[in-house]
Amino acid sequence: MSQIDSILGLPDLSIEQVKRGQIVEVWCKPKVRPACLYCQHDPVRIKSTHHRVLKHTRQGNQLMVLHLALPKYHCPNCNRYFRHPLRGIRPRLRATESYRLEVFEAHDGGISQRKLTVTHKIGSATVERWYQQQIKNRVAELSSRHCPRILGIDEHFFSRKKGFATTFVDLKNHKVFDVVLGRSEASLRRYLSHLTGRDRVKFVVMDLSETYRKIVQQYFPNAKIVADRFHVIRLVNQHFLQVWNQQDPVGRKNRGLLSLMRRHHWNLTPEQQQNLSQYLEKFPILQALYQAKQKLNSFLLLKKVTAKKAKKYIPEFLQLLDQFEESPAKIIAQTIRSWLEPIIRMWRFSKSNGITEGFHTKMEMISRRAFGFRNFQNYRLRVLALCGWNGVINRV
């Protein structure tokens, strides 16, 4: 490829003439005559020549237009006709793939359709159509993936009319695997029954949802459930605040005390610890529950614990749950005992659903940018395109 031919980025074409003005016009033609596409016979004869005008990637700030002389060939061996095949140029389109990709990346980067109509000389409907086509092509590539080994499952709100949707996240690679409308077993049954690679899932991280636990046990037979640390600690704090409201409804409404009660004791300053201890001395039952809660949270925050240490911690953990069962906060012990194995696995397993919650924030921003979605499939395509891959499309 000569230096002048390299500016096109199309290896099958050679430049014959370049005319510069407000628009860079380039006349080009194929470099070599190919063999027959059907029987591989060589040589073939040129039957006729078809002229195509295509928009190509901009050079500097100027639009480039290709005037392409495209031969039509006839094979004397098999008596068949065919057009010259070109990499990066699809049949019957008025723009090269490089140009379509340039428009897609610009619009995906935040440039409005109205601005692109001025800079790239195309209509806003064309920008939207090309954008949707590139997204569908990428999602089609992603649809052939197998289920990840470490899966995060959580729900998020989609719309008031259609309700909630379930998010499946590849926690190892930090990618959204899929988004499915609904959060019940009945609404997810069709999707999960046809999901390929369900047997290869080893761990599923989720909140303390009984519905999702039954779904995992039914559709992911080889997976072990790991409870999400944030949801477990939040549940403990919620039950503790309910007991506090029963013991002292007036103090429960104090926002300063509420802030102190919610924090871990090691995050309090000495002055704050003194103020909190003075308040708890007035309520001995509440004081004992607060101390037990802090000890329980210290167990729940354990990470990357070896199997030997975990066996040592389990008796102490169970003894602490026995104390909760004899207190007004016995519901905490009952809930943790029903999820004992998934909670114990948190000590050994470092992944959490914080990655999933981060994607939910990004999905909310996607929905805001589009001023809401009525069609869930359009929403799913947009989420997979922006959260399920690295943002780079392989050129044709």
C-alpha distances out from residue 93 to 56, 127, 130, Å? 12, 14, 12
Nearest CA to 357 out of 377, 382, 387 is that of 387
* Percent above pLDDT 70 for the chain: 95
Q: If you average pLDDT over every residue of the chain, what do you get?
A: 88
Over residues 50-65, the mean pLDDT reads 87
Nearest CA to 285 out of 237, 336, 326 is that of 326
- Which stretch of 11-15, 32-36, 98-102, 190-194 has the lowest confidence by average pLDDT? 11-15
Cis-peptide into 43, omega within 30 deg = yes
SS3 for 170-228 is: ECCCCEEEEEEECCCHHHHHHHHHCCCCHHHCCEEEECCCHHHHHHHHHHCCCCEEEEC
Query: What's the pLDDT at 395?
Result: 42
Over residues 77-100, the mean pLDDT reads 89
Q: How far is 315 from 381, CA to CA, in rounded Å? A: 48
Tens digit of each residue's pLDDT (9 = 90 or more) over 268-307: 999 999 999 999 999 999 999 999 999 999 999 998 889 8
CB atoms within 10 A of CB 84: 21
Written as six digits, the tokens of 13 are 């074409």
Query: What's the pLDDT at 16?
Result: 87
Band of residue 3 on the pLDDT scale cut at 50, 70, 90: low
What backbone torsions phi and psi does residue 320 show, to the nearest 5 degrees? -65, -35
**Per-residue pLDDT for 124 more than 80?**
yes
Query: What's the pLDDT at 164?
Result: 95
**Per-residue pLDDT for 150 more than 90?**
yes
